[in-house]
């Protein structure tokens, strides 16, 4: 079966190489009994890939069940997955089979697997390694033959570092990883998917299909689509139902797109990890440069005023707030840490004409500015790294790495 055949069978739209690669992996692993971990953002269609794996496997005539681990309360999830005996807990009026027992010989899809509580993770690990499980309230070991396909939209390695997910279970689930690309990673498919949904809803509601004008195509492609295909489908349905005009212009389309909140975080710039947000980095650079330029302009104005009036003391008194602010901002840290060192040298000879010499050194070093901010944050919070990291808008791990990188004594 070709990749296009799989797309047609399961209703997958798009020609992105990343999407084709994910389908190819799913097709190859389907004929095995290996455990698969599907990753991708919310709304990319992870459950569809679990069905591809099941339908193309030798278990296709067996049962298939999808379980949303995040939707089941922690107190009952063990009972749901592994079953329970009569009287095992309050309300257990009779014995009940769990999903792993019911789906014996088939496939179980564990969506949002990262939400499993730690005790349940231990039980799941035993099933994956030995095929054995015990009902809640029982001491009898039972066997099951179930293919497990798991999915998550979270960073599993981050959860492992935080102690919220077992490392051994992660590697057991991640025997074969499949990553589903987001819409942002396959922009060429967005308009095609929009058209398909528009035709589907036109048939469903017996109305003419909507069409995008040439000006509306660009906003459609530029939007981030945080909800991916699911969000695109919902918005297409809204427009199809609510708009009387079937030709959708850019203004109409934009009115249906939720306003995205701008990031207010300020991560450290130099040497950041691959997970850092490049948009926030640019914002931080611009802020640094703007502050530097503003301070230089203020100093130049002050120097010019002194040179023009010749009244050094009077001008200094009039600009005391400015001088104090600049002193507080830059004089509290070592000179070598200053991104801009303003060395204002004023000479007032005992002659009738006062001569004033102003020298301003500018150093637009982002590394120095970054080091200075870290030192200030640590000093402000008395060496407490967690509080300093929150002040800077970065993670505590990133702050620790920057302290070592800049050899900052803390």
Q: Cα separation of 358 and 255, whole Å?
A: 55
Q: Span 184-256: which CATH code?
A: 1.10.8.60
What's the pLDDT score for residue 88?
84
Give Cβ neighbours of residue 201 (< 8 Å, ≥ 6 apart). Answer: 207, 209, 236, 237, 240, 241
Question: Crossing angle, helix 366-380 and helix 396-405, to 10 degrees?
Answer: 120
| Contact assessment for residue 257 and residue 223, using Cβ atoms and an 8 Å cutoff | yes
Nearest to 60 by CA among 68, 70, 69, 50: 50
Helix (H) or strand (E) holding 148: strand 147-152
| Contact assessment for residue 110 and residue 151, using Cβ atoms and an 8 Å cutoff | yes
Question: Crossing angle, helix 396-405 and helix 385-392, to 10 degrees?
Answer: 100
Superfamily of domain 3-181: P-loop containing nucleotide triphosphate hydrolases (3.40.50.300)
What's the pLDDT score for residue 382?
83
Question: Crossing angle, helix 278-309 and helix 320-330, to 10 degrees?
Answer: 140
- Spans in the chain with pLDDT lower than 50: 262-280, 332-363
What's the pLDDT score for residue 96?
92
DSSP letters of 111-146? ETGGGS-HHHHHHHHHHHHHSEEE-BT---EEE---
- Portions of the chain given CATH number 3.40.50.300: 3-181
**What pLDDT digit, counting tens, does each position of 274-328 carry?**
444 444 455 556 556 666 666 676 666 666 666 666 555 555 556 666 566 655 5
Q: How many residues in the chain?
A: 410
**What pLDDT digit, counting tens, does each position of 122-177 carry?**
999 999 999 999 999 999 999 999 999 999 999 999 999 999 999 999 999 999 99
What's the pLDDT score for residue 355?
43
| Contact assessment for residue 316 and residue 348, using Cβ atoms and an 8 Å cutoff | no
DSSP letters of 195-261? HHHHHHHHHHHTSPPPEE-HHHHHHHHHS--TTHHHHHHHHHHHHHHH-SSSEE-HHHHHHHSPPPP
């Amino acid at each position: 079966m070709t990749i296009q055949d799989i797309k047609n069978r399961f209703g997958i739209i798009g020609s992105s190489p990343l999407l084709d690669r994910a389908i190819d992996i799913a097709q190859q692993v389907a004929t095995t009994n290996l455990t698969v971990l599907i990753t991708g953002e919310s709304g990319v269609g992870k459950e569809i890939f679990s069905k591809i794996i099941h339908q193309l496997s030798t278990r296709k005539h067996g049962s298939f069940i999808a379980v949303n681990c995040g939707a089941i309360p922690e107190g009952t999830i063990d009972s749901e997955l592994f079953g329970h005996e009569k009287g095992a807990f309050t309300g257990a009026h009779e014995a009940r089979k769990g999903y792993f027992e019911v789906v014996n010989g088939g496939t179980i899809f564990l969506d949002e697997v990262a939400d499993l509580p730690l005790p349940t993770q231990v039980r799941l690990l035993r099933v994956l390694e030995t095929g054995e499980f015990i009902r809640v309230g029982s001491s009898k070991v039972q066997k099951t033959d179930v293919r497990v396909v798991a999915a998550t939209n979270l960073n599993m390695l981050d959860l492992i570092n935080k102690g919220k997910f077992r490392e051994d279970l992660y590697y057991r689930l991640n025997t074969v990883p499949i990553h589903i690309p987001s819409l942002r990673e396959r922009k060429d498919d967005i308009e095609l998917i929009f058209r398909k949904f528009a035709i589907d809803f036109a048939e469903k509601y017996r109305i003419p299909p909507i069409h995008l004008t040439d000006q509306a195509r660009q906003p459609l492609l530029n939007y981030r689509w945080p909800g991916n295909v699911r969000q695109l489908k919902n918005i297409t349905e809204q427009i199809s139902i609510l708009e009387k005009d079937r030709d959708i212009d850019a203004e109409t389309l934009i009115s249906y797109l939720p306003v995205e909140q701008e990031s207010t975080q300020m991560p450290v710039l130099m040497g950041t990890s691959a997970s850092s947000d490049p948009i926030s980095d640019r914002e931080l650079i611009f802020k640094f440069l703007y502050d530097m330029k503003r301070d230089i302009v203020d100093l130049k104005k002050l120097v010019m005023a002194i040179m023009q009036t010749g009244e050094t003391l009077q001008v200094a008194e009039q600009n005391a707030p400015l001088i104090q602010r600049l002193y507080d901002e830059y004089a509290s840290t070592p000179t070598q840490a200053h991104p801009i060192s303003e060395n204002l040298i004023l000479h007032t000879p005992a002659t009738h004409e006062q001569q004033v010499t102003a020298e301003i050194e500018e150093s637009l070093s982002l590394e120095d500015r970054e080091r200075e901010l870290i030192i200030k944050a640590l000093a402000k919070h008395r060496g407490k790294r967690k509080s300093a990291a929150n002040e800077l808008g970065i993670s505590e791990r990133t702050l620790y790495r920057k302290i070592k990188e800049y050899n900052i004594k803390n």
